[in-house]
Amino acid sequence: MTKTPASENPETYRSPLKTGVRFVAQDVMLKTFVWSICNVQVHGRELLDNVEEPFIVISNHSSHLDAALILGALPHRLSRHVATGAAKDYFFDKKLKGGLTSLFFNAYPIERRGHNHKGLTGRLLDAGVPLLIFPEGTRSRTGALGTFKPGVAGLSISRGVPCIPMALVGAFDAWPYNRSVPPTNHPEIHVVIGHPLTAIAGETATAYAERMRVTIAELFNTTARAYGKSTLDDYARAVALKAAEQTAEAEEAAHQAEAAAQQAAPEEDKTTND
């Protein structure tokens, strides 16, 4: 009989021993580190007073800090069993990295190029394990908010569990994906918790996912404006301007190449006539 790997057993993610060890790793070590290098402010924690397991935490995703900020902002009674979906090809490609990811984030492996993870995700919810999933599927490279994949919405609908929307404001500027070292300037970051969401009767997964995206965008932009931070519109505008500049540069290079070719043509004709 083939033994089920521990990573595929839902009970692993609620193990009392691992929960105790993770408390030290998450609440004592990780949270202390992140809160010491950043000025973290949490808004809306009172909206979670009536939330019980299981649930799905959803958020924008643009920084190395995201999972730690979310888990640190949640009350311990809600964060202690949260399992975080992590890309198997990146976080579990090496034994040490996979072990640390599991220790700090109660992570379970996701096959980004396949669909095997969907079964495990559903089994975790069925076993009462709450989840942290980033609906964009990957970290934003620009700070702008991407499209939300409908898979999370489908899980919420099929399992009848609420989604807790959270917006991370300032995390991209503090520690974006392409920076290898943590911030040293004690940046201000706001973790904004919204009212739990549930599907409306007859709502499709695609429509529900879009409502999730709009909710998080509103939480993000409202807080960003209140505290003088970059909004999602600012990030999107920067992306558009950069694309326009690149297009203009490409057009200028094409014009220069065309002009050079036209200038070279008469010289070639003269050489031929001589």
Position 96 pLDDT exceeds 90: no
Say how far apart CA 249 and CA 85 lie, in whole Å.
Answer: 40
Q: How confident is the model at residue 1 (pLDDT cuts 50, 70, 90)?
A: very low
The pLDDT assigned to 268 comes to: 58
* Tens digit of each residue's pLDDT (9 = 90 or more) over 214-225: 999 999 999 999
pLDDT in tens, 50-68: 999 999 999 999 999 999 9
Looking at residue 249, its pLDDT comes to 73
Q: Point out the least confidently predicted range of 12-26, 91-105, 198-212.
A: 91-105
Residue 126 has pLDDT above 90, yes or no: yes
Residue 116: the pLDDT is 43
Most confident stretch, 8-22, 91-105, 169-183, 238-252: 169-183
Mean pLDDT of 170-175: 97
Residue 273 confidence (pLDDT) = 56
pTM, full prediction: 0.86
> How confident is the model at residue 4, as a pLDDT?
61
Q: What is the pLDDT of residue 115?
A: 46
Please give the pLDDT value at position 99. Answer: 79
Residue 36 — pLDDT band, cuts 50, 70, 90? very high
pLDDT at residue 119 above 60? yes
Q: Is the pLDDT of residue 117 over 60?
A: no
Range with the poorest average pLDDT among 36-40, 233-237, 242-246: 242-246
Query: Is the model more confident about 257 or about 63?
Result: 63
Checking if the pLDDT of 263 tops 90, the result is no
When mean pLDDT is compared across 75-89, 102-116, 187-201, the lowest value belongs to 102-116
Average pLDDT over residues 75-104: 83
Residue 92 · residue 141 · CB < 8 Å: no
Q: Which residue has the higher pLDDT, 69 or 241?
A: 69
At 256 the pLDDT is 74
